[in-house]
Amino acid sequence: MDSFRRGDLVFDVRDAGPADGEPVVLLHGFPQDSGAFDRLSPALHSAGLR
């Protein structure tokens, strides 16, 4: 997992899907983790989104 830093904030990032795909940002709330999007991600990737 990659990290993105902005000022004092650090975000863990999962970068997946086609390299040339349009990016989509999914933000989960507490107490979820990125696994909240495991069922959604394949559909986004199939649609050519990153």
Two tokens, residue 1: 């997992």
User: By the 8 A CB rule, do 15 and 50 touch?
Assistant: yes
Model pLDDT for residues 1-50, shown as the tens digit of each residue: 799 999 999 999 999 999 999 999 999 999 999 999 999 999 999 999 99
**Per-residue pLDDT, 1:** 79
| Residue matched to tokens 């709330």 | 29
Two tokens, residue 32: 């979820």
Sequence letter at residue 48: G
Q: How far apart are CA 48 and CA 45, in angstroms?
A: 5
Q: How far apart are CA 22 and CA 5, in angstroms?
A: 21
